[in-house]
Amino acid sequence: MTIMIADPRAFILENTRLQPVPFVPEIVLHLADESVPLWRKTEEEIGADGLPPPYWAFAWAGGQALARYVLDHAEQLRGARVLDLAAGSGLVGIAAARAGAAPVVSVDIDAFAEAAMVINGEANDVYLDIHIIDPLDGPAPPGPRYDVILVGDLFYERDTATRALAFLTRHAAVGTRVIIGDPGRAYLPRERLVKACEYAVPVTRELEDQDIKRTSVWRLDS
């Protein structure tokens, strides 16, 4: 069933405010101050119950760490073809574009995320090639479709984590570099990863159980 959204851009502008990302202040995003009220408003806007949380409205710890890493290691991304998987607000893709990657393909399954990424890309004067799709069950490419795949904070749920790891493994097998930002979610496949660095990322207790979240950046061991 296709869910119709009257005006997602207007909804986002009305219910968020433009602000610097705490750990990546070079980037500004339209972010919400509280999750539950926005979640309820999103359901009212669409006219449906049981929707997933508005992930696109917050700067999650894994995404902040990964965006920081990307900007601080811009030489690794410059000129690279990049996929930002489960892009949410667009934070990581924006960082990649700022680092000189091109094209930056940002994918998510939430229609609100599409509008959020457009708005946030405009606010940071970068272009993202945005697609609202679920690519995780796609076949293995014959060669590297992307030079780099960036994944911020995706390993929080078992089924999604399993499908994501299989997808990333298929791409790593044909030469794509996979870089993951994660604050220690339950289903992070640590045994397959090599830690690149660790940060102390400021977060809000609206999202996490503490004010500072130790968050690592990992490379998938192909």
Q: Where are the domains of the chain?
A: 8-220
Is the pLDDT at 195 greater than 50? The verdict is yes
Give just the sign of the alpha carbon dihedral 213, 206, 160, 107: negative
Q: Which residues pair with 213 in a beta bridge?
A: 201
Query: Is the pLDDT score of 71 beyond 80?
Result: yes
pLDDT in tens, 84-133: 999 999 999 999 999 999 999 999 998 889 999 999 999 999 999 999 99
Determine the distance from the C-alpha atom of residue 94 to the mean position of all C-alpha atoms in its chain, rounded to a whole number.
10
Confidence at residue 37, expressed as pLDDT on a 0 to 100 scale: 52
Distance CA 81, CA 101 (A): 6
Token code pair at residue 194: 């090599």
SS3 content of the chain, % helix, strand, coil (to 5): 35, 25, 40
Has this prediction a pTM greater than 0.85? Answer: yes
pLDDT by residue (tens digit) across 20-41? 999 999 999 999 876 545 545 5
At the top level of CATH, the class of 8-220 is alpha beta
